[in-house]
Amino acid sequence: MSLETRQAPAGSNAVLAAGFSDPVHDAQRCFRALMNAMAQPGKRQTYDASQLKPPVPLTPMGAALALTLFDYDTAIWLDPGLARSLDVLAFLRFHTSAPIVSTPVEASFAIVSDPAQMSALSNFNQGSADYPDRSTTVILLNQTFSTDEHVELSGPGLKEPESFSSTPVPNGFWRQVQANNAQYPRGVDLVFAGTDKIAALPRSTRISPKGA
């Protein structure tokens, strides 16, 4: 691929947005926040991604996670909102070289910019009994963590059951998560990316609904 074709594709006049200013340590800090989030399900971890100015609808936190996790080894799936944006495609292709796939089941990572409309979790790769690690990690953008208690979490990483809530999510989402986690050790892992906070729900967490 020549250098010219690496620039933003035709139809876009945007200059390619920059990646991490300090790739080594920014990625390390972002990873540690994500690792702690995965190890302590539902607990919010802080990471300041405001230095990144990725093209919309990709958010700074979504871009930080992409720069931290993706490379030529990871097939990624983008929800329609992201996949429509040539600037987002150019940004991800340039900074991560990750192949972008069109079917969720092929993806090792999925980014969802409009979680309220997201497709069912069962459409993503669930991993196999022999290789449960091959399932998709689904990253939900634009999340707001609230004090409304939607679900109660228990299991590995949690000293005591904790309540958790994150919006927006589609109707019936928590039932889907419950079904996903019931097939442990298979199933997808979820990452909730807010503005400066991230939380995660690995498949190992047991989920019971609270109220609605």
Partner 1 sequence: MTYAPQTPSESAYNFAYLDEQTKRMIRRALLKGIAIPGYQVPFASREMPMPYGWGTGGVQVTASIIGKDDCLKMIDQGSDDTTNAVSLRGFFKKTAGVATTFETADASIIQTRHRIPEKPLREDQVIVFQVPIPEPLRFLEPRETETRKMHGLEDYGLMHVKLYEDIAKNGHIATTYAYPVKVNGRYVMDPSPTPKFDNPKIDRMPALQLYGAGREQRVYAVPPYTDVKSLDFEDYPFEVQSFDKPCGLCSAEGVYLDEVILDDHGGRMFVCSDTNHCEERRAQGLTGPMAAAPTAAQLSDGNEPKPETRT
Applying CB under 8 A, the residues found at the interface with partner 1 are 18-19, 21-25, 27-29, 31-32, 34-36, 38-40, 68-71, 73-74, 108, 128-133, 137, 155-159, 184-185, 189, 202-204
> Least Å distance between CB 104 and partner 1?
18
- Output 79 or 189, the one with its CB closest to partner 1: 189
Please, what is the minimum distance in Å from the beta carbon of residue 10 to partner 1?
26
Phi-psi region of 211 (alpha: psi -120 to 50; beta: other; left: phi over 0): left
Q: Minimal distance in Å, beta carbon 13 to partner 1?
A: 23
Name the minimum Å distance from CB 151 to partner 1. Answer: 17
State in angstroms the smallest separation of the CB of 112 from partner 1: 18
Closer to partner 1 by CB, 1 or 129: give it.
129
Nearer to partner 1, 84 or 134 (CB): 134
27 vs 86 by CB, closer to partner 1: 27
**Identity of the residue, 4 or 160, whose beta carbon is nearer to partner 1 in the bound complex:** 160
